Amino acid sequence: MLEQLIKIDKGATENLKDQIKQSISVAILDELIVLDKPIPSSRKLSTALKVSRQTVMFAFEELVDDGYLISKERKGYFVNPSILSGRAMKPSKPKLRNDETSSPQWQQRFTKEPSKQINILKPSDWQKFPYPFTSGQIDPKTFPIAEWRECSKQALNVLAVNDWTSDTLDADDPQLIEQIQQRILPRRGVWAKPEEILITVGTQNSLYILSNLLAGNGRKIAMENPGYTDARNIFDIHFDHVIPQPVDKGGIVVNSQLGDVDYVYVTPSHQWPTSVTMPIDRREKLLAKAEQEDFIIIEDDYEIETNYIEEPVAALKSLDDNGRVIYMSSLSKFLAPGLRMGFMVGPKALIDEARALRRLMMRHPPLNTQRMTALFLSRGHYESLINRLWRIYKSKWHILTEAIERYIPSNEKLPINGGTSCWVRGPNNLDCRILQKLAKEHGILIELGDIAFSQQIKPKNYFRIGLTVIPEHKIVPGIKLLGQLIQDITLR
């Protein structure tokens, strides 16, 4: 019986002993093992599970140490009844009627339905595809495991543990603030005081906090169109008016439409999704317009330092003398998006309110992750990582841009100098959804372009191709095949 409850997966990341421990402890807590009889012997279990007897023995011994089992001499191992004490009793009264009329009408209670928004989808099994032109992910093989391990060990020493086990209510790890202030921001031309920096759970979280703080009372926000889908979705559920502003080869167009807005959200370093960089004169024009019309600029500097043919352009924030730019970025693009490590920079008055609001949401992002990240930055590992990935991405980017020009019909030439993805305009009669489906059947993953547009009737012939996870040697064959599929679809 017990052997049937133990799930073993020899390909799992957890070792066999831990898998056995886990299954037995769950079975004990679910009261699936009788208390007054010994559990099957290690010999019996090892034969049934096809693992070594020693592995089972180790699992039993640790379960004894953890208080799940007790060992009785010459009788075997038994469930320790005290592990089950203090648990809530299963309800004995008959269950209430469970039909349509008695269960809550959830649809009528929702004041927002974010699940209905059109969103970016990234297949989690991209690694199984031969041509994953997925964007926004990193290749786990490039993650600096040894360096991160060393920092996590350091974050576990007694002094560090004293620092991060307490809940600080709303404060961040001062060491991380210092590293961001001294190492990350100056590279972008941004100088900030510690009290002007807030750690967030990624740019997504920064945008959410800001929207929650600044929207309402009929306030208007303008954003690039095409523009970042996640940002639009966040703005849509907070602001009464989200104004789509056209994008050209210099990024967001600065015109009279911006005369009537309170906020403008932009991605100047590499406009999402086109990847064009906003030139300096456009930046100055935008800042002057902000001054003239009294609006605030939200700068999402998500893809720092991925220029391959020109020097990186300093952040818009670096030109901001009057505190009109709220700057945000994260470590998602180079370190790992799964870490959810981001930050926001703005005037102290704004950061104070954002911090107070963040406290209501989550108090603060986990302090152990903040400390590990601080250590990682302080040892210079982040700069080395950027340099290493920059070389890899640069090489892939040249191959990718050339392949697109050669094999994708009817591509529009944009003045791009880098980024981690390419925005492609296919022939006018291309439907990116049909292409995405067909491409997937041929092992190619691409990202839909229509999700970037705000209008009801969206252009269908755009799509995005990411370069971060695709192996370099797969780029040309993948793009060639994609080009053929586009021809097949559009010349039908």
Ligand X SMILES: Cc1ncc(COP(=O)(O)O)c(C=O)c1O
Binding site for ligand X (CB under 6 A): 136, 202-204, 228, 267, 272, 300, 302, 330, 332, 337, 342
The residue with tokens 């080869």 is 249
* Residues 176/370, Cβ–Cβ less than 8 Å: yes
Q: Is the CA virtual torsion 33, 36, 37, 42 positive or negative?
A: positive
For ligand X, the closer of residues 51 and 351 by Cβ is 351
* Distance of closest approach, residue 40 Cβ to ligand X, in angstroms: 47
For ligand X, the closer of residues 202 and 483 by Cβ is 202
Q: Strand 220-225 relative to strand 241-248: parallel, antiparallel, unpaired? A: parallel
* Distance of closest approach, residue 18 Cβ to ligand X, in angstroms: 30
* Distance of closest approach, residue 238 Cβ to ligand X, in angstroms: 16
Distance between terminal CA atoms of the chain? Answer: 60
For ligand X, the closer of residues 262 and 301 by Cβ is 301
* Distance of closest approach, residue 63 Cβ to ligand X, in angstroms: 39
Closest to 80 in 3D by CA, of 91, 65, 69, 92 = 69
* Distance of closest approach, residue 300 Cβ to ligand X, in angstroms: 5
Closest to 383 in 3D by CA, of 172, 146, 144 = 144
Closest to 359 in 3D by CA, of 176, 213, 190 = 213
For ligand X, the closer of residues 207 and 372 by Cβ is 207
What is the distance, to the nearest Å, from the Cα of residue 335 to the centroid of all Cα atoms in its chain?
11
The DSSP secondary-structure symbol of 323 reads: S
Q: By beta-carbon distance, which residue lies closest to ligand X?
A: 202
* Residues 28/68, Cβ–Cβ less than 8 Å: yes
For ligand X, the closer of residues 250 and 273 by Cβ is 273
For ligand X, the closer of residues 21 and 396 by Cβ is 396
Between CA 32 and CA 27 the distance in angstroms is 5
For ligand X, the closer of residues 80 and 204 by Cβ is 204
* Distance of closest approach, residue 122 Cβ to ligand X, in angstroms: 9
* Distance of closest approach, residue 355 Cβ to ligand X, in angstroms: 18
* Distance of closest approach, residue 221 Cβ to ligand X, in angstroms: 15
For ligand X, the closer of residues 42 and 306 by Cβ is 306
The residue with tokens 């970042």 is 228
For ligand X, the closer of residues 172 and 300 by Cβ is 300
If one counts every other C-beta atom within 10 angstroms of the C-beta of residue 274, the result is: 27
If one counts every other C-beta atom within 10 angstroms of the C-beta of residue 302, the result is: 22
Q: Which residues contact 33 (CB under 8 A, 6 or more apart)?
A: 2, 24, 27, 39, 79
If one counts every other C-beta atom within 10 angstroms of the C-beta of residue 92, the result is: 5
Omega of the bond prior to 279 within 30 degrees of 0, cis? Answer: no
* Distance of closest approach, residue 433 Cβ to ligand X, in angstroms: 20
